[in-house]
């Protein structure tokens, strides 16, 4: 059997949502390497090498010594268009430029296959004839539905979602003002803490590693997960992975009504989809769901 080498910066959601489910479906085992872990060059001759999002220098140098039987680059963001990075934190833009964007021509020249996470990316890079991977659940079994006395609403966005956090602020403010049995959980740094400091009932959790997050999301008590998504070039390429996080948390999701979430969410069946043009509609729907545990239970069971 052809050996499969998966090259990743560390344990990460991209591998768990996309690469691991594909390997399981095809009955393939794999060896996982970090950026600085490299095998003997001759072992690549009959191997498939999958770069997850990034091309580390040590591996690029190795492939110049010995080309693998098959080379794949997987991306779940638009990593090959520098214009899409605009608005991202500057340190994140530098990372994407250094480890992804500047290797595009080299990858094409050496005949790498392109795997992507969304039809949008596949259409944009159609000349590369990419393969679209569907996301899978990396969290295992989900808990039974519960209706805790204290309702936890949460948004677990990364540093690349500053705009969504700003958009959510008035939504959260209205919900917290309407009910005393609700708190809001958000992941973020000091800037996020400062943004929500004027609101009691907001719990800001420090960013954590992916393995730590997978354990964190399993803690019981969450009620509604929020997944807003602004209309930006970078967001257009995203995949609906928050559907799995929200469901694994034992919660019902309220999602932006965009093609990203339309891949998995059926409005009124396994989640709620709302337009981003109306923050007030989000507040009203969250309050309606809080008042209707039977509705939440049905949506959760279907999810």
Per-residue pLDDT of the chain (303 residues; tens, 9 = 90+): 789 999 999 999 999 999 999 999 998 889 999 999 999 999 999 999 999 999 999 999 999 999 999 999 999 999 999 888 877 788 888 999 999 999 999 999 999 999 999 999 999 999 999 999 999 999 988 899 999 999 999 999 876 688 899 999 999 999 999 999 999 999 998 988 999 989 999 999 999 999 999 999 999 899 999 999 999 888 999 999 999 999 999 999 999 999 999 999 999 999 999 999 999 999 999 999 999 999 999 999 999
Contact indicator for 269, 302 with CB cutoff of 8 Å: yes
Phi, psi of 56 (to 5 degrees): -75, 145
Instruction: Lay out the sheet containing 48-52: strands in order across.
Output: 31-33, 4-7, 48-52, 70-75, 113-116, 131-132
Distance CA 21, CA 19 (A): 6
Contact indicator for 264, 299 with CB cutoff of 8 Å: no
Which strand (E) or helix (H) includes residue 222? strand 222-227
Contact indicator for 136, 17 with CB cutoff of 8 Å: yes
In the DSSP assignment, the letter for residue 206 is: P
Residue 199 CB neighbour total at 10 angstroms: 14
61 CB-near residues (< 8 Å, 6+ apart)? none
Distance CA 134, CA 244 (A): 12
Closest CA relative to residue 53, chosen from 2, 91, 3, 16: 16
- Check residue 82 and give its pLDDT: 87
Query: Domain 4-132 maps to which CATH number in 1.20.1270, 3.10.350, 3.40.50, 3.30.50?
Result: 3.40.50
Closest CA relative to residue 5, chosen from 42, 44, 40: 44
Distance CA 174, CA 146 (A): 24
Task: Output the CA torsion sign for 28, 13, 103, 229.
Answer: positive
- Check residue 234 and give its pLDDT: 86
Q: Which two structure tokens, joined as six digits, stand for 87?
A: 């608005």
**DSSP letter string, 109-164:** HTT-EEEESSHHHHHHTGGG--EEPPP--SS-SPPPP---SSEEEEE---GGGHHH
Distance CA 101, CA 93 (A): 10
Q: Which two structure tokens, joined as six digits, stand for 21?
A: 């489910």
Closest CA relative to residue 84, chosen from 124, 114, 117, 118: 124
Query: Domain 151-302 maps to which CATH number in 3.10.150.10, 3.40.50.880, 3.90.1260.10, 3.40.50.2000?
Result: 3.40.50.2000
In the DSSP assignment, the letter for residue 65 is: H
94 CB-near residues (< 8 Å, 6+ apart)? none
Q: Which pTM value belongs to this model?
A: 0.93
- Check residue 140 and give its pLDDT: 87
Burial per residue of 256-272, b for 16 or more beta-carbon CB atoms within 10 angstroms, e otherwise: bbbebbeebbeeeebbb
Residue 137 CB neighbour total at 10 angstroms: 16
- Check residue 91 and give its pLDDT: 87
Closest CA relative to residue 73, chosen from 31, 101, 93: 101
């Amino acid at each position: 059997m052809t050996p499969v080498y998966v090259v990743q910066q560390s344990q990460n959601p991209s591998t768990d949502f996309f690469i691991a489910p594909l390997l399981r479906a095809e009955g393939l085992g794999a060896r996982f390497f970090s950026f600085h872990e490299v095998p003997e060059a001759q072992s690549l001759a009959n191997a498939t090498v999958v770069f997850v999002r990034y091309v580390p220098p040590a591996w690029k140098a190795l492939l110049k010594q010995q080309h693998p039987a098959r080379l794949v680059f997987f991306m779940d963001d638009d990593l090959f268009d520098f214009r899409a990075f605009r608005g991202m934190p500057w340190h994140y833009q530098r990372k994407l430029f250094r480890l992804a964007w500047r290797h595009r021509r080299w990858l094409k020249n050496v005949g790498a296959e392109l795997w992507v996470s969304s039809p949008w990316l596949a259409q944009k890079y159609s000349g590369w004839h990419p393969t679209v991977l569907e996301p899978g659940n990396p969290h295992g079994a989900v808990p039974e539905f519960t209706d805790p006395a204290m309702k936890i609403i949460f948004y677990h966005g990364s540093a690349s979602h500053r705009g969504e956090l700003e958009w959510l602020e008035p939504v959260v403010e209205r919900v917290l003002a309407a009910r005393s049995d609700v708190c809001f959980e958000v992941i973020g740094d000091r800037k996020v803490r400062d943004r929500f400091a004027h609101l009691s009932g907001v719990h800001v959790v420090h960013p954590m590693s992916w393995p730590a997050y997978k354990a964190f999301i399993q803690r019981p008590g969450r009620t509604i997960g929020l997944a807003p998504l602004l209309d930006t070039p970078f967001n257009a390429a995203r995949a609906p992975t928050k559907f799995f996080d929200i469901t694994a948390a034992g919660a019902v999701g309220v999602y932006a009504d965009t093609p990203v979430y339309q891949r998995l969410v059926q409005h009124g069946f396994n989640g709620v989809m709302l337009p981003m043009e109306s923050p007030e509609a989000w507040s009203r729907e969250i309050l309606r769901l809080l008042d209707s545990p039977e509705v939440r239970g049905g949506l959760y069971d279907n999810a």
